[in-house]
Amino acid sequence: MRPRRIKNQDEIINESSYIIEVSDKYKGKLHELFGNNNPIHLEIGVGKGDFIIGMAKKYPNINFIGIEVQDSVIVRAVKKLNQEELTNVKLMNVDAKKLNDIVDHEIEVLYLNFSDPWPKKRHAKRRLTSEEFLKIYDNIFIKDAHIIQKTDNIGLFAYSIEELVKHGYIFNKVSLDLANEDIDNVLTEYEQKFMKKGERINYLDAVKFKDK
Ligand SMILES: C[S@@+](CC[C@H](N)C(=O)[O-])C[C@H]1O[C@@H](n2cnc3c(N)ncnc32)[C@H](O)[C@@H]1O
């Protein structure tokens, strides 16, 4: 669902130092955005930003880039970030379909948190773990591909496992109840809502080795 527009939304987004303009300017040199050579992790669909902000605070030696397609959503993450002084996080208001125009073999880990499930078969290509997207991701990773997914939606979870296997991924971890695992976890907004309702969270950590 598209949230209502915030007053001055465009100014808030365009004037934030946390926002990177959508262009190929930093393609292959994303490190320049951070001024160091620390590893770069990417989140697709940052929503209101709780996860990426929590991760950036917890792991100051990792750089985080978050992308979000909806401007009325990313503006909420920008507003939260503007309250912080974090040097290791940047956001981009763009669709993941365009990732290959922006990123070139630079990412160590990709996070897909509570991605839209697109339950209808005719919309399957829009799922962020469809073959179309997995092919895009092949060109973003610095070496081995590494995807971490969390979702409440068991249909999307089963689909993701199937697609990842077809695409050559193997699993470090698969869990149907993240809260009962000994896994370092930063909560997202959706995750907080589902956990309050007592729902279980599905989790996978998948890798595809480059030399295979
Ligand atoms: C269900 S929300 C989850 C938000 C957040 N990750 C969380 O867990 O609370 C999914 C978010 O992904 C964004 N999104 C969906 N498809 C996207 C795409 N192709 N590129 C970038 N963002 C996308 C949506 O706009 C939405 O904000």
Please spell the DSSP secondary structure of 141-178, one letter per residue. Answer: BSSSEEEEEEES-HHHHHHHHHHHHHTT-EEEEEES-G
Q: How far, in Å, is the centroid of ligand 1 from the Cα of 112?
A: 8
Tell me, yes or no, whether 49 lies in a domain: yes
CATH code: domain of residue 26: 3.40.50.150
Secondary structure element (H or E) that encloses residue 48, with its range: none
Rounded Cα distance, 80 and 49, in Å: 7
The one-character DSSP state at 137 is H
Q: How many domains does the chain contain in total?
A: 1
Rounded Cα distance, 45 and 171, in Å: 22
State both tokens at 125: 């290509």
54, pLDDT greater than 90: yes
Rounded Cα distance, 191 and 172, in Å: 21
Catalytic residue flag (residue 116) = yes
* Of 51, 112, 115, best ligand 1 pocket probe by most atoms within 8 Å of the beta carbon: 115
Q: pTM of the entire structure?
A: 0.97
185, pLDDT greater than 80: yes
Q: Would you say the CB of residue 70 lies under 6 angstroms from ligand 1?
A: yes
Q: How far is CA 197 from CA 88, 110, 113, 147, 193, in A?
A: 33, 27, 18, 26, 7
Secondary structure element (H or E) that encloses residue 117, with its range: none
Tell me, yes or no, whether 23 lies in a domain: yes
User: Going by CA atoms, what residue is nearest to atom 13 of ligand 1?
Assistant: 45
Domain interval for residue 99: 9-208
Active-site entry in 104, 116, 138, 205: 116
Instruction: Report residue 1's pLDDT band, with 50, 70 and 90 as the boundaries.
Output: low
As a whole number, mean pLDDT of residues 182-201 equals: 97
* Of 48, 116, 186, best ligand 1 pocket probe by most atoms within 8 Å of the beta carbon: 116
Choose the weakest-confidence range: 5-9, 32-36, 114-118, 155-159: 5-9
Rounded Cα distance, 79 and 19, in Å: 11
The rounded Cα 149 to chain-centroid distance in angstroms is 9
Tell me, yes or no, whether 1 lies in a domain: no
State both tokens at 106: 């630079």
pLDDT for 211 equals 75
